[in-house]
Structure 1
Amino acid sequence: MSFLKIANLRKSYGATEILKDINLEIEEGGFLVLVGPSGCGKSTLLSTIAGLEPITSGDITINGQSVSDLPPSKRDIAMVFQSYALYPNMTVAGNIAFGMEVRGVPKPEREKAIREVADILQIGHLLDRKPSQLSGGQRQRVAMGRALVRNPQVFLFDEPLSNLDAKLRVDMRTEIKRLHQRMKTTIVYVTHDQIEAMTLATKIAVLKDGILQQFGTPAEIYNKPVNMFVADFMGSPAMNLLTGTVENGGDGLQVALERPDAAPLKLPVVSANGELAAYKGRQVVFGIRPEALTDPDGTDRNAGMIAEGDCHIEVVEPAGSDTFAVTKLGGKEVVARLRADAHIQAGQTARLAFNLDKAVYFDPQTQQRIV
């Protein structure tokens, strides 16, 4: 049974519709990440769950109870903001305890809750400091501690790591994951960072222009994107999206990809002949992730269908654990992810291996996935 459910939710400011018929649900203890580019409506959606923004129509239920008409204080949620929103004149302990104090929680109970949260977040040694004496990561821990002592039904996080530097952001991401595994509380988390979304979520909702594009597990979103927007947005580097032509091959259909100064590269279509039959003689968009395009020695040995082809390498980018190579196919730049020690040089023609088990196909007009 879904614990948090959003049904047919719409949100407008005057004549401008910001959220357009959003339907989502997450089980108790789940970690829902709302992801999308700036202006897609993800923070507005979070604010409607929190009660900070009224909805225009639809419903929001938590644990079977509609909260759409309840004020924030009655929804049993706790929110962690991007800006930390700490009281500068209070100590860490005072910031954590403030909400409990307002609610009239007895002092012994407050002190016990502070100690427990400080242990969880490893900030016990900071309790007597003021926010100005803390690093960005420590301030974020205090903001999380203030939410944790509430012991709410749902935690809401609004881009909590966006003010941190890259290394600290990775460290805090791990802390939030560990915290969720320990507390098993339902979390809704907003970010524009798709790596954060992939690593934290049990379910991801991808939004664009106020419309829910896809809702599913990280694996579903990554491996089976429903349209070209999701395919391009989720993943770093992004999925290669190449224009190709569907043709008859030896044992079925194949997709032909144009190559500069060479005959088209023809790749067999795996287990999608039926769906692509209607596109014979027409163009489709062939999608393949960089890690599914590699040097022949680095291919997945469990793959059912590997096809190889010669490609002119334009750029080589060593990246420590991997080497990225840029070539051109189907009129587009294509990124291949190779082994770190792959022997490949810019300006040369190299043999690349395509893991066709991982290929997806899109309609170039509708931009929806065919298969």
Structure 2
Amino acid sequence: MAFLEIRNLEKTFGNVKVLKGIDLEIEEGGFLVLVGPSGCGKSTLLNSIAGLETTTGGTISIGGKVIDGLHPSQRDIAMVFQSYALYPNMTVGGNIAFGMEIRGVPKPERDKAIAQVAEMLQIGHLLDRKPSQLSGGQRQRVAIGRALVRDPQVFLFDEPLSNLDAKLRVDMRTEIKRLHQRMGTTIVYVTHDQIEAMTLATKIAVLKDGLLQQSGTPAEIYNNPANLFVADFMGSPAMNLIPVTITKNGSGVSISTNRDEMEPLALGIPNAPAGLAAHDGKEVIFGIRPEALTDRDGADRNAKNIAESECLIEVVEPAGSDTFAVTRLGKKQVTARLRADVNVVAGQKTKLAFNLDKAVFFDPANGQRIL
């Protein structure tokens, strides 16, 4: 049963509709990540859950209780902000204890809670310092510690790692995931970083222009994108999206696309989506992830449908554990993810393996997945 439920949520600023009927839910102990480009409405949605924004329509419920009419202090929610929002004149211990002090928690209980949180976040040696004496990662730990001592029903995180450098961001991501596994508290987390979303979430909600594009597990979002926007937004490098022409071939379907200085690429599509045949003679968008387009020996040995074709390589990008090769199909730049030690040279042709088990197709007219 859903623990946090959002039903037909709307938010308007003047004449601008920022949230357009959002429906979402997450089970107790789940980790929901709201992801999307700047201005898509994810922070507004988070602030609406927190009570920092009044909603225009719809409802928000926690544990079966409607909360959207309640003051933020009555919602049993703790929030960690992007800016940390620490009191500069207080010590770390004072910052963590402040909320408990306001609520009249006795000092022995406060001290015990601070000690537990400090041990969990490894900030015990920082309790007497001021925020100005801390690094970005340490300040973020303090902000998280201040939320933890509240022991709320739901934690809200608003892009908490965006101010950190790349390495520290990865480290803190691991810490947040470990913290969630240990505590099992329900978390709603906003980020524009889709790698952060994939690694942290038990459920991802992808937003664009105030509309929910798709929600599901990271695997569902990544492998079965509902539309072109989700396919292109989730994944690094992004999914290859190639315009191809559909041809019915007896009971089967094949796709073809032109290539510069080479004969057209033609691939038979076994187990094609039922709706694909209806596009006979028309153009659709063929989606394939870079890791599903690889060198012959690097192809998934468990895949049932591998097709091979020689491709002209334009650019080679060694990346340590992988090598990325760029070719061109249907006038689109296409990225293949190869093994690190594969022998591939820019300007030469090499045989690439297409894992058609992983192929997805989209209608270019409306951007929706063809099923």
Q: Is TM more than 0.5 here? A: yes
| Cα distance in 2, alignment partners of residues 330 and 91 from structure 1 | 60
Answer whether contact 2:79 2:147 (CA < 8 A) is retained.
Answer: yes
1:183-220 Cα distance to aligned partner (Å, 9 max, x none): 00000000000000000000000000000000100000
Q: Describe the shift of the 1:163–1:273 C-alpha distance in structure 2 as closer, same or farther (beyond 3 A).
A: closer
Q: Is the 8 A contact 1:246 1:254 kept in 2?
A: yes
Contact map agreement 1:21 1:211 (CA 8 A) in 2: yes
Alignment of 1:61 onto 2:61: yes
User: Residue 9 of structure 1 aligns with which residue?
Assistant: 9
Deviation at 1:13, TM superposition (A): 0.9
Q: Is the CA contact (8 Å cut-off) linking 2:248 and 2:277 kept in structure 1?
A: no
**Aligned equivalents of 2:205 and 2:37: distance in 1?**
12
Q: Does 1:208 align with 2:208?
A: yes
- Cα separation, 1, equivalents of 2:70 and 2:273: 52
AA matched with 1:335: T
Q: Deviations over 1:94-129 (max 9, x none)?
A: 000000001100000000000000011011111111
1:252 aligns with 2:249: no
Pair 1:250–1:349, CA change in 2 (3 A) = farther
Letter in 2 for 1:280: D
Give the SS at the match of 1:334: strand
CA drift at 1:353: 0.3
In 2, Cα distance between the equivalents of 1:337 and 1:355?
Answer: 12
TM-score by length of 1: 0.99
CA distance in 1, matches of 2:78, 2:128: 23
Tell me, in whole angstroms, the C-alpha distance in 1 between the residues paired with 2:315 and 2:277: 36
Structure 1 residue runs of 4 or more that deviate by more than 6 Å after TM superposition: none
One-letter identity of the residue aligned with 1:67: I
Aligned pairs (5 A) from 1:16-31: 16-31=16-31
Q: What is aligned with 2:304?
A: 304
Measured after TM superposition, the shift of residue 272 of structure 1 is 1.7
* Structure 1: tracts of 5 or more residues without a match: none
Q: Is the 8 A contact 2:42 2:207 kept in 1?
A: yes
Other-structure match for 2:183: 183
Shift of 1:271: 1.2
Distance change in 2, residues 1:238/1:273 (3 Å): closer
Measure how far apart 1:251 and its partner are: 6.2
- Tell me by how many angstroms 1:250 deviates: 6.8
Match of 1:336 in 2: 336
Shift of 1:296: 0.2
Q: Deviations over 1:17-75 (max 9, x none)?
A: 00000000000000000000000000000000000000000000000000010000000
* Closer/same/farther in 2, CA of residues 336 and 250 from structure 1, 3 Å limit: farther
> Helix, strand or coil for the counterpart of 1:370?
coil
Contact 1:253 1:273 in 2 (8 A): no
Alignment of 1:15-94 (within 5 A): 15-94=15-94
Q: Secondary structure at 2:98's aligned position in 1?
A: helix
Aligned to 2:146: 146
Q: How big is the shift at 1:273?
A: 5.2
Q: Distance in 2 between matches of 1:163 and 1:77?
A: 23
2:238 is the alignment partner of 1:238: yes
State the distance in 1 between where 2:115 and 2:105 align.
Answer: 15
Q: Counterpart of 1:86 in 2: which secondary structure?
A: coil
Whole-Å separation in 2 of the counterparts to 1:292 and 1:167: 28
1:275, distance to aligned residue in structure 2 (A): 1.8
Asked whether the equivalents of residues 205 and 213 of structure 1 are also in contact (C-alpha less than 8 Å), the reply is yes
SS in 1 for 2:351: strand
- The answer to whether the Cα contact below 8 Å between 1:252 and 1:273 also exists between their aligned partners in 2 is no
Partner of 1:117, secondary structure, is helix
CA distance in 1, matches of 2:195, 2:312: 30
Amino acid at match of 1:32: L
Aligned residue number for residue 158 of structure 1: 158
Aligned-partner Cα distance in 2 for 1:192–1:242: 25
Question: Is the 8 Å Cα contact of residues 92 and 131 (structure 2) preserved in structure 1?
Answer: yes
Secondary structure of residue in 1 paired with 2:38: coil
In structure 2, what residue type is equivalent to 1:206?
Answer: V
User: Match for 1:220: what amino acid?
Assistant: E
Asked if residue 114 in structure 1 is aligned to residue 110 in structure 2, the reply is no
Aligned residue identity for 1:123: I
The reply to whether residue 317 of structure 1 matches residue 317 of structure 2 is yes
TM (norm. structure 2) is 0.99
| Distance in 1 between residues matched to 2:267 and 2:91, nearest whole Å | 64
**Secondary structure of 1:29's aligned partner:** coil
> CA-to-partner distance for each residue in 1:261-305, whole Å, 9 max, x for gaps?
222111111312532110111111000000000000100000010
Distance 2:23 2:320 in 1: 42
SS in 2 for 1:147: helix
CA distance in 2, matches of 1:262, 1:112: 71
Q: In 2, distance between residues paired with 1:134 and 1:365?
A: 52
Distance in 2 between the 1:163 and 1:273 partners? 43
CA RMSD of aligned residues (A): 0.8
Q: Secondary structure at the match of 1:120?
A: helix
How far apart, CA to CA, are the structure 1 residues paired with 2:322 and 2:89?
48
Mapped partners of 1:331, 1:16: distance in 2: 37
